[in-house]
Amino acid sequence: MTEQSQTDTVPASESRSATAEAPRTRIARGRFSDGNQRQILGLLAVLGILIAVGSFTTDNFFEVSNLVLLLSQASIIGVLSIGMTFVIISGGIDLSVGAIIALASVWATTGATQEFGLWGMLFTAVVVAGVCGLINGVLIAYGGLVSLIVTIAGLASYRGMATLISGGQPQVVRVDGFGAIATTEFLGIPLLVYMFATTVVLGWLLLNRTTFGRHVFAVGGNAEAARLAGIDVRRTRTIVFVLSGLCCAIAAIMLTARTATGASTHGNLYELDAIAAVILGGTLLSGGRGTLIGSILGVVVFTTVNNIFVLNNLSTPIQQIAKGVIIVIAVLLQRRANKESAG
C-alpha cells in the first residue's frame, strides 16, 4: 500500500478529465472484476504474441494437427490446474498431485485390476486418487496440519507406494477400450480434449455458481470470518483436496491411456507445472482470489511456449529458462495490477 503512489503512472490531468462530468460516481471502466479482467486480458495478449512468434518462426504452427496436438498436450496439466485452482483459492497448496497420478495409474493397471476391464480400471483410478485427496484434506482440515507439509509428505509416500506396487516396472495396458481413450476422436478432436473441456465447465460452474464455490473464496480470504458466518471451514477445506484428487484421477486416466502404461514415474513434477499455471493465471498464492479461466490460459500459454520451442528444435534447458522468465514477469505484472487497485 505504501508504495502504491510510486507505481501510480496515470497522469493527474488525464484521470481528472475522465471523472470530470461525474465526480465521485463510478465510471464504467471501474468494475469489480477489473483486476481479474486485466489479468486475463494480459494473458490473452501474451498468448497473441506467442502465436505471432509461432507463426513467424515455424511453417506448421497453424496446421490443424499441431493445434490439436497442442490442446491435447495442455489437457493433462489443464485438468490438474483446475483442482489446484480450488486448493490455492482456499488458501492451501497441493504438491502431491504428480504422485497421486503415479499411484492411480499404477493401481489401475495392475494385472488384477485389468481383469475387471475398462470400467474397473477407471473406477480404481478415481477411488485411489479420491482417497489420496481425502487423506490430504482430512489431515489438513481436521488434523490442523499445514497443507505444504502434508502434501510434501504425500508427494513422497504416494509415489513410494506406486513404486512398491509396480515393483518399479511400467505396467502395460492390455485392455483395448482403455487405450481408445487416447485415440478416439470426434470431429477431428481427441476425446482427451473433450474430457478437459468438460472438467473446465464443471469446475467453473462449481466455483462461480454454487454456495460451495463461494465458501472456497471465503475460507481462503478470511477463514475466521467464514467460520463466524457459520460456514463449515473444515469440510470446505477437505472437499477442496478431494476435488484436487479427483482431477488427478482424470489426469492419470489420460496419461495412462496416452502412454499405454501405468508407471510410478508418471506425473513427475506435474505439481510445479500446475501451480505455475495457476499463479500465472492470477490466482493469489495467499488465497481468497483467483479465476479458473486464468489458470486455463496459464496452461495454454506454457503449452504454446513448449510447442514453439519443439517446433524450432530448441533444447529443453532453454525451454525451462523461458518458463522461469515467464513466471517471474507474470508475477511482477500481477503485483502491479494489485497495487493499482489497492488502497
Partner 1 sequence: MSTTLLQMRGIVKTFPGVRALDGVDLEVRTGEVHCLLGQNGAGKSTLIKVLAGAQRPDEGTIEWCGDKVSLRGPAAAMKLGIATIYQELDLVDGLSVAENIFLGHEPTTVGFARRTEMRGNARRLLERLGHGEIDPAQEVGELSSASKQLVSMARALSLDARLIVMDEPSAVLAHDEISGLFRVIEELTRQGIAIVYISHRLDEIREIGDRITVLKDGRTVAEDLPAASTATDRVVSLMTGRSMVSAFPERKSGSAPENQNELLRVADLSRTGEFEDISFTVRGGEIVGIAGLVGSGRSEILQTVYGARKPRTGEVELEGKRLPPGNVRAAVRAGMGLAPEERKSQALVPYESIAHNVSLAALGRYARLGWVNRPGEQAAAEEVTTALRLQPSDTKQPVRVLSGGNQQKAVVARWLLTDCRVLLLDEPTRGVDVGAKAEIYALVRELADSGVGVLLVSSEIPEVLGLSDRVLVLREGRIVRESPADEIDEAEVLDLFIEGSAA
Q: What does the binding site for ligand ATP look like in residue numbers (CB under 6 A)? A: 342-343
- Minimum distance of ligand ATP from residue 336's CB (angstroms): 15
Residue with cell 499411484: 103
Residue with cell 467453473: 204
Binding partner at 211 among partner 1, ligand ATP, none, C-beta below 5 to 8 Å by kind: partner 1
- Minimum distance of partner 1 from residue 343's CB (angstroms): 5
Q: In this structure, are strands 189-190 and 185-186 parallel, antiparallel, or unpaired?
A: antiparallel
Nearest of 321, 269, 330, 268 to residue 297 by alpha carbon: 330
DSSP state of 281: T
With CB atoms as reference, the residue minimizing the distance to ligand ATP is 343
Question: Which range binds partner 1 by CB under 8 A, 17-25, 132-140, 186-194, 293-301?
Answer: 17-25
Counting contacts by CB under 8 A, is residue 59 touching partner 1? no
Counting contacts by CB under 8 A, is residue 336 touching partner 1? no
The grid coordinates listed for 268 are 513427475
DSSP state of 185: E
By residue count, the chain amounts to 343
d(CA 299, CA 80): 10
Binding partner at 230 among ligand ATP, partner 1, none, C-beta below 5 to 8 Å by kind: partner 1
- Minimum distance of partner 1 from residue 205's CB (angstroms): 9
Please give the biggest Cα pair distance in the chain. 74
Question: Which range binds partner 1 by CB under 8 A, 45-53, 190-198, 214-222, 300-308?
Answer: 214-222
Nearest of 73, 82, 78, 88 to residue 221 by alpha carbon: 88
Counting contacts by CB under 8 A, is residue 24 touching partner 1? yes
Counting contacts by CB under 8 A, is residue 5 touching partner 1? yes
Binding partner at 229 among ligand ATP, partner 1, none, C-beta below 5 to 8 Å by kind: partner 1
SS3 at position 190: strand
Give 98 or 213: the residue with its C-beta nearer to partner 1: 213
Q: How many residues bind to partner 1 according to rule CB under 8 A?
A: 46
Per-residue contact track with partner 1, 81 to 100, x per CB under 8 A? --------------------
Counting contacts by CB under 8 A, is residue 335 touching partner 1? no
Cβ 295 vs Cβ 85: under 8 Å: yes
Ordered alpha helix ranges (H), 211-289: 211-221, 223-228, 233-259, 270-280
Counting contacts by CB under 8 A, is residue 211 touching partner 1? yes
Query: Treating both helix axes as pointing N-terminal to C-terminal, what angle do 117-141 and 176-183 enclose, rounded to 10 degrees?
Result: 70
Question: Within 225-254, which residues bind partner 1 (CB under 8 A)?
Answer: 225-232
For residue 184, which phi and psi values (nearest 5 degrees)?
-65, 140
The footprint of partner 1 (CB under 8 A) covers 1-6, 8, 12, 15-16, 19, 23-24, 26-27, 29-34, 209-212, 214, 217-218, 221-222, 224-232, 284, 288-289, 340-343
